[in-house]
């Protein structure tokens, strides 16, 4: 799968999750996808929330692993 296709599929999943992040005052931004590693920047309340690692790994990463073939991990970038 091309990086462009994977970026588009990742963005579709993030758009599904976005309302839950916005409800809590946060958001996320896709920075890059490199060899199956999705790099995200957490914004707003998510950027400083103590539970952001859980949100990133248990929520966003789990959804991306299930829905986008080729995703192997999600990393937070600052």
- Taking only the tens place, the pLDDT of each residue in 62-74 is 999 999 999 999 9
**How remote is the C-alpha of 9 from its chain's centroid?**
11
- For residue 34, give the H/E element and its range: strand 26-34
Q: What's the rounded Cα separation, in Å, for the pair 49 and 68?
A: 26
Neighbouring-strand partners of residue 11: none
Give the C-alpha distances (Å, rounded to integers) separating 14 from 22, 40, 70: 12, 10, 16
Q: Architecture of domain 3-76 in CATH? A: 2-Layer Sandwich (3.30)
| pLDDT tens track for 34-58 | 999 999 999 999 888 888 888 899 9
* pTM (two decimals): 0.91
Domain ranges for the chain: 3-76
Kindly compute the dihedral angle of the four CA atoms of residues 61, 65, 69, 73, in this order, to the nearest 10 degrees.
Answer: 50
């Amino acid at each position: 799968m091309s990086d462009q296709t994977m970026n588009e599929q990742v963005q579709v999943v993030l758009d599904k999750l976005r309302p839950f992040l916005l409800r809590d005052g946060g958001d996320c931004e896709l920075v890059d996808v490199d060899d199956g590693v999705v790099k995200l920047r957490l914004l707003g309340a998510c950027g400083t929330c103590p539970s952001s690692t859980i949100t990133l790994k248990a929520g966003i990463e789990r959804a991306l692993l299930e829905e986008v073939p080729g995703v192997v991990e999600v990393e937070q970038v600052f």
